[in-house]
Amino acid sequence: MRFSNAFLDEIRDRVPISDVIGKRVTWDRKKTNVSRGDYWACCPFHGEKSPSFHCEDRKGRYHCFGCGVSGDHFRFLIELDGMNFPEAVQQIADLAGVALPQPDVEAEKRDRQRTGLQDVMEMATQFFEAQLQTANGAKARAYLRDRGLTGRTIETFRLGYAPESRNALKEYLAGKGVPKDQIEACGLVVHGPDIPVSYDRFRDRIMFPILSSREKVIAFGGRAMSPDAPAKYLNSNETELFHKGSVLYNFSRARKAMSGASRAGEAAQNENGAGTIIAVEGYMDVIALYQAGIENAVAPLGTALTENQMVLLWKLTQQPVLCFDGDGAGIRAANRAVDLALPHLKPGYSVRFAMLPDGKDPDDLVRNEGRAPFDKVLASARSLSEMVWLREVQSGTFDTPEKRAQLEATLKQIVSVIADENVRRHYGQDVRDRLHQFFQGARQGGQRSFDRNPRQGGGNRSGGQGQGLGGPGARISERTGISDRLARSALVSGHQSLPPLRESVLALTIVNHPDLLFAEYDEISAIDYDNRDLQRFWSAVLNAASAKGPRLTRENLIEHLEAEGFGDLLKSLDQQIRFARLWTATTAAASEDAREGYLQALALHQRTKALLWQRRELENELAYATEEGDDDTVSLILRNLQEVQLEVTRLENQEAIIDGFGVLSGRVKGPAGK
């Protein structure tokens, strides 16, 4: 009996592969991570003393790094138990609680038809690839070269060219014996009762083959060469093979890349996002990232992300990163993704949001500056809860009790759409905590502090804001969410706590050496301070930088900060730094020494933040495992949590300044600055 791919996929998805393999092996407790569906054991196919046999529930695959065997549920039963394929299918179907389908002549016919259509799509791909290398494809080759793509990248993604002809592909396929109805069923020609003669759908376009999860060509995307074309990008229409809302470009290749990253180790994944899936907006973004060494990116097919595509992402990773352009359209797309994801959140499953600099897309960023700036964007990705908060709080003023009540009601309504009770409860608590901090801080600063609109008059925050720095000032309120008036009133009222030492180093170094800010503006300006006073202080620093640009001096900056009510905080920071003898943050340090000390403090700060995020995730997993009564998982998570906490403690106590530099400042070791 022949089984459809849809049926085989269904029963595989219903039965974790670990349930099948776990009946034949004993999982290694040290290497296995049950909460992530990641299992290790000694290989059942060859004798070994240390576990090199690995299986992952999310992929439904196993692989032995010792003898090289690999496969899925069916392959395991066939090779280990000697079953034939129908017997293996029967056993998995029984585990899934699904009856075997009755013989369906029509279904088998459709399955054969799909196989035939895939063969036709492969022929079309080869035709487009060949056309790219002809004289007709010269302008397409030049375009790809100008976009920085190498020959190897073009070959890897099988890019091609559809010639400017109404029948070139149709005649090529007909010459290969492909019948008219198959050409039409593949969506390769435009046809219909009102069209006397069908013609090629793709003409004078660079062609991007779209692959299924099984790496078969199922559709195409075409980029117009002519600026006068009605559509810059054109996708295949819906066919038996292709359903646009359920496919992600580069899905199968990204899945392989992520699998390789998982074997490379958790630390590397955390640093560059290799252990997750990154969703970007277009074909060229995916390809440019791949060429820059970031192989785990996918893209929807010219439309907003769909629910089915979100499910695909979650099949591969619990925390996919959605990357959007930093312009207005990108922010609107991010907000749509927020609303799309919220109802479907589950314990451990969410999304993060990486927003690119204004006017940049991933292709621009890595082509002009390499992968480092993109890695920084990934490292600063925001959580879904933070995106919800920022979207609602930045959209208005809250200077009356009624408006504050409206904000609270809006946030409660947003949270209410989350279907999972546990996740909804935790989001509700997160909202209450944020509202309490937001309203409490404003009350301490006076009623008018709720006004989030730019103040009128001196120190203009509108109009000229963004001049001299390409518009960074326009993003200041987005990063901090605190008004200048609130900052001044809170400080004047004496509501001020001493910031963590490392945050003080980061802030005061920039005040004493403002040239550092402009050397690495995007990274430094985006620093996320935990201390609320420093959040407000930093907003004022960036406002001054926006107004003055690279002409900003230490004297200008201090004058501006004192005028904004931060004089007492400046004195406190200076005393704190001098008492700790962290001289590179003071004026006594030469520029290079200040930069070295700053970069060390920043690296420690970012690593600590990453560990704290990891700790929160583990705590969430622990709560879920405890509720489920999974003692093995609880023990494993507790061990991981202890390791993370030890590393957090070590970093929090680690000195940010290393002895032995400071020659440019006339120092050999690090005495206190003057």
pLDDT tens for 332-375 read: 889 999 999 999 999 889 999 999 887 788 888 888 788 888 99
Backbone angles phi, psi at 581, to 5 degrees: 60, 35
Cα maximum dimension of the chain: 88
Backbone angles phi, psi at 43, to 5 degrees: -65, 130
> CA–CA distance from 29 to each of 40, 78, 505 (Å)?
8, 27, 43
Q: Which of 209, 375, 408, 151 has the alpha carbon at shortest distance from 278?
A: 375
Is residue 302 over pLDDT 80? no
pLDDT of res. 409: 93
pLDDT tens for 310-326 read: 988 988 888 999 998 87
Q: Does pTM surpass 0.95?
A: no
* Percentage of the chain modeled with pLDDT above 70: 83
pLDDT of res. 141: 96
pLDDT of res. 111: 62
Q: If pLDDT is split at 50, 70 and 90, which confidence band does 259 have?
A: low
> CA–CA distance from 597 to each of 18, 525, 586, 604, 648 (Å)?
49, 17, 11, 11, 20
Q: If pLDDT is split at 50, 70 and 90, which confidence band does 274 have?
A: low
Burial zone of 225 (CB within 10 Å; 0-12 exposed, 13-18 middle, 19+ buried): middle
Residue 163 amino acid letter = P
Q: If pLDDT is split at 50, 70 and 90, which confidence band does 511 have?
A: very high
Cβ count near 638 (within 10 Å): 13
Distance between CA atoms of residues 310 and 344, nearest Å: 9
Q: Please, are residues 423 and 348 in contact by the beta-carbon 8 Å criterion?
A: no
Question: What are 562's two structure tokens?
Answer: 């004192």
Is residue 463 over pLDDT 50? no
298 three-state secondary structure: strand
Q: Which of 270, 255, 382 has the alpha carbon at shortest distance from 324?
A: 382
Q: Please, are residues 502 and 470 in contact by the beta-carbon 8 Å criterion?
A: no
pLDDT tens for 224-250 read: 999 888 889 999 999 989 988 889 999
Q: Please, are residues 75 and 110 in contact by the beta-carbon 8 Å criterion?
A: no
Spans of all domains in the chain: 5-96, 105-242, 251-390, 593-665
Is residue 540 over pLDDT 80? yes
pLDDT of res. 153: 95
Q: Please, are residues 143 and 128 in contact by the beta-carbon 8 Å criterion?
A: no
pLDDT of res. 112: 64
Distance between CA atoms of residues 645 and 13, nearest Å: 36
pLDDT tens for 103-143 read: 666 666 666 666 789 999 999 999 999 999 999 999 999 99
Q: Which of 193, 189, 211, 192 has the alpha carbon at shortest distance from 202?
A: 189
- Please name the residue that has the structure tokens 């083959």: 209
Cβ count near 653 (within 10 Å): 7
Return the CATH number of the domain spanning residue range 251-390.
3.40.1360.10
**Mean pLDDT, to the nearest integer, of 71-99?**
89
Question: What are 392's two structure tokens?
Answer: 């609602």
141 three-state secondary structure: helix
Q: What is the CA radius of gyration of the chain?
A: 29
Q: Please, are residues 159 and 141 in contact by the beta-carbon 8 Å criterion?
A: no
> Of the ranges 263-267, 305-309, 384-388, 564-568, which is most confident?
384-388
Backbone angles phi, psi at 672, to 5 degrees: -65, 145
pLDDT of res. 151: 93
Cβ count near 616 (within 10 Å): 12
Q: Please, are residues 40 and 53 in contact by the beta-carbon 8 Å criterion?
A: yes
pLDDT of res. 473: 32
- Please name the residue that has the structure tokens 């969430």: 620
Distance between CA atoms of residues 58 and 317, nearest Å: 8
Strands 278-279 and 297-298: parallel
Distance between CA atoms of residues 670 and 674, nearest Å: 12
Q: If pLDDT is split at 50, 70 and 90, which confidence band does 277 have?
A: very high
Q: How many CA atoms lie within 13 A of 613 on its CB side?
A: 16
pLDDT of res. 576: 87
Domain 105-242: state its class: alpha beta
How is domain 5-96 classified at the architecture level of CATH?
A: Alpha-Beta Complex (3.90)
Question: Residue 70: enclosing H or E segment and its boundaries?
Answer: strand 70-71
pLDDT of res. 444: 55
Question: What are 451's two structure tokens?
Answer: 């006004």
Burial zone of 283 (CB within 10 Å; 0-12 exposed, 13-18 middle, 19+ buried): buried
Distance between CA atoms of residues 119 and 113, nearest Å: 10
Paired with 64 in beta bridges are 53
Output the average pLDDT for the chain: 81
Is residue 582 over pLDDT 50? yes
Q: Please, are residues 53 and 61 in contact by the beta-carbon 8 Å criterion?
A: no
Q: Which long-range contacts (C-beta less than 8 Å, at least 24 apart) are formed by 469-473?
A: 469/518, 469/521, 469/545, 469/546, 469/549, 470/358, 471/358, 472/521, 472/525, 472/542, 472/545, 472/546, 473/542, 473/543, 473/545, 473/546, 473/547
Q: If pLDDT is split at 50, 70 and 90, which confidence band does 158 have?
A: very high
* Strands, sheet with 61-64, edge to edge from the N-terminal-most edge strand: 38-41, 53-56, 61-64, 70-71
Helices (H), 283-420: 283-291, 307-316, 328-341, 362-369, 372-379, 384-393, 401-416
